[in-house]
Amino acid sequence: MQLVVDGKSHVVDVEEDMPLLWVLRDELGIKGVKYGCGVAACGACTVHIDGVAVRSCQTFVSDVDGPVTTINGLGTPDAMHAVQEAWVEHQVAQCGYCQSGQIMQAASLLAETPAPTDGDIDDAMMGNLCRCGTYPRIRAAVKTAAQKLKEA
């Protein structure tokens, strides 16, 4: 099976019903994608498939129908994505475990809704849980990232 992950082509020899999360972490060694709950309830494993945020723990590798972007491929080698910059600026991460999924969900939101309201942000981010409760900083960072993308 062939996958394009973070702009690189990979051939993997795995069962078709293997979750994408395990392919990314165990077969390709991409550890930025986190295992949280395994039932798509926490969002820690969020990646993009063809630009759309999905929970990789519940996506079979055989269902991948476009390029996969992980937190490792969100920015460029020379620059962080605007969402990553805003996360640093607002010091969003506390323990940090959920943050790759949070960032990937926020980037997907901003790709679809460049000027989100508080309600848009809350709705889009609802499925991404943060044990540390950094939700106010997450909302502020999403707004800052939206402004950064608008100015770019």
Q: What's the pLDDT score for residue 127?
A: 94
Where are the domains positioned within the chain? Answer: 2-73, 82-151
Q: What's the pLDDT score for residue 68?
A: 98
Looking at domain 2-73, its CATH superfamily turns out to be Beta-grasp domain (3.10.20.30)
Whether pTM > 0.85 for this model: the answer is: yes
Low-confidence ranges of the chain (pLDDT < 50): none
Q: What's the pLDDT score for residue 116?
A: 98
Q: What's the pLDDT score for residue 112?
A: 97
Amino acid at 122: D
Q: In the CATH scheme, what is the code of domain 82-151?
A: 1.10.150.120
Residue with tokens 């079979």: 60
Q: What's the pLDDT score for residue 72?
A: 96
- Count of other CB atoms within 10 angstroms of residue 67: 17
- Count of other CB atoms within 10 angstroms of residue 17: 9
> Distance between CA atoms of 143 and 66, rounded to whole angstroms?
28
Q: What's the pLDDT score for residue 152?
A: 85
CB 92 within 8 A of CB 138: yes
Distances (CA, A) of 56 to 18, 129, 145, 146: 10, 15, 24, 25
